Amino acid sequence: MSGPLALFANRLNTLAGPERQAAAGALARTGLPDRKSEAWHYTALRALGKQDYAAPPAQVDDGAVRTLLDGVLCAHPAMAGLPRVVFVNGRHAPAFSALPDDVDLAFFAQAPRFGLQAAPDRDPLVALNTALAEDGLYVRVPAGVDGGHVMLVSLGVAGAEPVSFHPRHTVVVEKEAHLRLICVQAGQGAYFHNPVTDIVVEDGATLEHVTVQTEAAQAISLGTLYAHVGHQSVYDSFVLGLGGQLARHEVHARLGATRGVVHVNGAQRLAGQQVGDITSVITHVASDCTSRQTVRNVLDGHARGVFQGKVLVERIAQKTDGYQMNQALLLSPDAEIDAKPELEIYADDVRCSHGATVGALDDDQLFYLRSRGIPEHEARQILIDAFLDEAIALVTDATAQTFCRAVLAARFAGKGDVA
């Protein structure tokens, strides 16, 4: 193995089990993606090759974990009272968890479940996860049950030596059930977080899924998510991307039965040298389904945002209603946005559209605020907040929406428009 993949060679060469060995074989054949791959044309993984990543140590500093967790929970008072499942460096941390009562839980470490949708032979990062996953959450909401809120907290704690961890999560919301899942990613030090999540939303069910990504400044986070949506079911998702030197949130959603609904919305607020990538593929394979995607980016310094959104409508998927929009606000002449909205339609009775806009702060609006006695840095922040808030307003769960606003405000408090 060569390149970044060589960093994991020792661990990949000692795998047991047919799934892991098959994944390692697929990874050896393809290697990690580079810019020659269409899906990775705008996001390079060179940063992975700059340091070695060891397996996480068996023990971590409980004080560091507690500090990180307190930082998550104190952002919004309601969060401390929610059931939560905490993972530290990809392993379940029972001492910091408060498990829910209304859903069924199991853990990958006890009984590995690789899911049915994720494809190691097609996606190298899924293959890497399949080969190296140690733990992860399996959550099932029984038919007809309202599972309430569940927090899935993933914390990275690295010391002097960078580490990598590859949690494998599965979420099943059975018929007519409902779950509000809030995922939080945070950490300290240099680490590589490579989660894979397999989601099934059965007929008539609803999953409201919010991800708040506030990884450490030196972290690399490359998450891949697969969602299957059934008849008259709803998968309503939102990602708030704030942290990490390199972060990618990749969603593959499949509308597999009639009258399903998928929302893949998001917002990114990046500065410095950060790179943030939101990529989605929404596949319509049934009629009368709806998909929506709105992503907003605020980029400062030399930050770079990437949006790749593809809506694929198969021939059978008549009366599809698909929409996607990406909007970017550039606060610096050195900031960059790469946008590739895409429609691939084989049906002839559809309503689909996409668009993208890029701009700077409006001088007239800025002048108006300053003419009312508001200092320039405050006026700029008001306009930035208003731009992002239109995206955050798409979060349907009130608790998660307030949490997103609180995390965003806390992260940039007193910093003007520079992270």
**3-state DSSP call for residue 144?**
coil
The contacts of residue 299 (CB under 8 Å, 6+ apart) are: 268, 270, 271, 305, 328, 329, 330, 331, 332, 335, 336, 337
Q: pLDDT digit string (tens) for 210-258?
A: 999 999 999 999 999 999 999 999 999 999 999 999 999 999 999 999 9
**The pLDDT of residue 232:** 98
* Band of pLDDT at residue 357, cut at 50, 70 and 90: very high
**The pLDDT of residue 415:** 53
The contacts of residue 321 (CB under 8 Å, 6+ apart) are: 289, 290, 291, 350, 351, 352
User: Which one has a higher pLDDT value, 52 or 167?
Assistant: 167
Tokens, residue 98? 């408060």
Average pLDDT score, the chain? 92
Read out DSSP for 256-275?
-STT-EEEEEEEEEE-TT-E
Check pLDDT > 70 for residue 2. Answer: no
Q: What is the mean pLDDT of residues 163-179?
A: 97
Q: pLDDT digit string (tens) for 175-193?
A: 999 999 999 999 999 999 9
For the chain, how big is the Rg over CA atoms in Å? 21
Q: What is the mean pLDDT of residues 59-80?
A: 93
**The pLDDT of residue 7:** 61
The backbone torsions φ and ψ at residue 206, rounded to the nearest 5 degrees and listed phi first, read -135, 130
**Amino acid letter, residue 23:** A
**The pLDDT of residue 160:** 84
